[in-house]
Amino acid sequence: ISLSGRSRDILDLLEMIVNEPRMTIKKLELRSNLGFPILPESTLPSNIMIELRTDVSITGSF
């Protein structure tokens, strides 16, 4: 999965992926144009763009 978008949208998606027990995260990259780490708890302005790249596997069925 490779996406870029507004900070809140990407962080909401990341939270969903991390909290989904049927998804196993193999690789995760989270980048922005900021000079500090981005965490799901971060309060970021909505105009900050974030890029998410992840490799996941899905177990079971939805």
Per the prediction, the chain carries an average pLDDT of 82
What pLDDT does 27 receive?
92
Contact indicator for 56, 16 with CB cutoff of 8 Å: no
Higher-pLDDT residue of 24 and 38 is: 24
Angle at 13 between CA 50 and CA 7, to 5 degrees: 30
Whether residue 55 is predicted with pLDDT greater than 70 in this model: the reply is yes
Contact indicator for 23, 60 with CB cutoff of 8 Å: no
